Chain A
C-alpha cells in the first residue's frame, strides 16, 4: 500500500515536471508525457464508454484537448485532477455529440424497419432483406448511394461525403430523403 502511494506520487511528480517542461517548449518531455497519458486515457475511457469503436476517437480527442489546454495547467497544482477533468470532458463531449446525431438521424429500426447495417455480412447490400433490397434499388442513384454509404458501409458523414464527392450537408439531405422514400415504399408512411 505504501509502495503504491510512493509510486503514484513519483508518477504525479514526473508528469507535473514533464508538463512544466512542455509549457516551455520541451518536445522530448511532452512526448514522454503524452505516451504515458495515452495508456491512462485508454483505461479511463475503456472503463466508462461501452462503444468500443468510439473509444480511440475519444482518447485522441482527449490528447488534442490536452494540447489545446496545456496553458491552463499551473505547476503548483496537482496534475492528475487536471488530466482526469480533460478526459471526463472529452467523454461528455462525445456523449453529447452522439445524442445530437441520434436525434438528427432517422432511426429506421424505430419504425419497425430493421437497420440495413445489422443485416449485412460483407459487401453493401449482400444480405439485406428482399423487401429492403428492392426498395433500396428503387431509390434514385444519389439517395441510394447516401443510404448505403452511411448505413451499410457505416462510414461517417464526412467520409461518405468525400466518397460521394459532395458536401456533408448535401449528403445528409440525400440520406434523409432516401430514408423517407424507403419508409414510404415499405408501407410505414410518414411520421
Chain B
C-alpha cells in the first residue's frame, strides 16, 4: 500500500476545493459572545431576576466589591478572547493577551476575595453552603448561553485543543454570569463573595469542561460535514 506523494495530495486537494466563507473577525465573535451574555442578563432583569443592587447601596463604594466585579469582567473578556483565538491559526498573540487579561482578572477576584476573608470576622455557618451553591448555579445558568455561542465560533474555526478551548469558554461565559450575580446578591460576607462569586469561573472550568468538550467535538464534526457539503 503506497502513500500518495505530496504532489498527488495537492492535486486531490485542488480537486476537492469548494468556495468557503471566511470566519468572522475575532472582534465580532467576542462581541457576539459578550452580547449574548448581556442579553441573557437583561432578560433576567426583565423577569425580575438578579436585579442589581440600588446605586445607593454601600457595596458600590466598597473597593473589595468593585475589585471582584472588575476582576470578573477581565476574566470574562480574557477567557472568551483566548478561547476564540485559540481556534484560529496565527492568533497566538491574541491567545496570550487573553491569558494575561484573564489571569490579571483572576488575581483581582481571588485576591480581593481573600483580602476580604482575611479581614472578616464572620464565622462560616452550615446554612452558607446552600447560598454558595445557589449563587454558583445562577452564574452557570446565566453564563451557559455565552459559553455555547463561544463554542459555536470555536467549532466553526480550526479547533486544535477541545479541552482547553472548552475550559476557557466555560470560565469566560460563567464569569459574565457571575458579574450579574455579584452585582445583585444581597449576601455581603467576604467568604460568600470569595467562594460563590469570585471562584465561579474556576468552578465552571472544572465542572463544565467535560460536557462543553463533548459539545465542541460534536459541533466541530458537524461543521466539518457542512464544509464538505459546501455550506461553510
Contact = CB atoms under 8 A, between A and B. Distances in A.
Interface of A: 22-25, 27, 30-31, 34-35, 38, 56-57, 59-60, 63-65, 67-78, 81-86, 89, 159, 162
B1 A75 contact: no
- Which of B11, B87, B88, B90 is packed against the most chain A CB atoms within 10 Å? B90
B10 A72 contact: no
A71 B23 contact: yes
Q: SS class of chain B's interface: helix, strand, loop or mixed?
A: loop
B90 A23 contact: no
The 8 closest A-B pairs by CB, nearest first: A82-B90, A69-B158, A85-B89, A81-B90, A25-B19, A71-B20, A85-B90, A34-B10
A86 B20 contact: no
A63 B89 contact: no
B22 A162 contact: no
Given A68-B227, A89-B89, 11 more contacts: A23-B19, A25-B17, A27-B17, A30-B13, A35-B10, A60-B3, A71-B23, A75-B22, A83-B89, A83-B90, A159-B1
B89 A82 contact: yes
B59 interface: no
A71 B84 CA distance: 15
Contact of A71 (B4, B6, B91, B227): B227
A85 B92 contact: yes
Interface string B1-33: 101101001110111111111110100000000
A184 B158 CA distance: 47
Interface string B21-65: 111010000000000000000000000000000000000000000
Contacts of A73: 22, 89
Contacts of A25: 17-19
Interface residues of B, number: 32
Contacts of B22: 23, 71-75
By secondary structure, the A interface counts as helix
Contact of A63 (B13, B21, B23, B88): B13
Interface string B177-206: 000000000000000000000000000000
A86 B160 CA distance: 10
Contacts of B10: 31, 34-35, 38, 63
A111 B83 CA distance: 44
6 contacts: A27-B14, A69-B158, A71-B232, A72-B89, A77-B90, A85-B89
A24 B232 CA distance: 12
A89 B86 CA distance: 12
B157 A67 contact: no
Nearest to A77: B90
Nearest to A41: B6
Nearest to A155: B1
B66 interface: no
B160 A89 contact: yes
Nearest to A61: B9
B224 A68 contact: yes
A72 B158 CA distance: 7
Contacts of B18: 25
Contacts of A34: 10, 13-14
A63 B12 CA distance: 11
Contact of B13 (A23, A67, A78, A84): A67
B7 to A, nearest CB: 8
Contact of A68 (B3, B14, B91, B158): B158
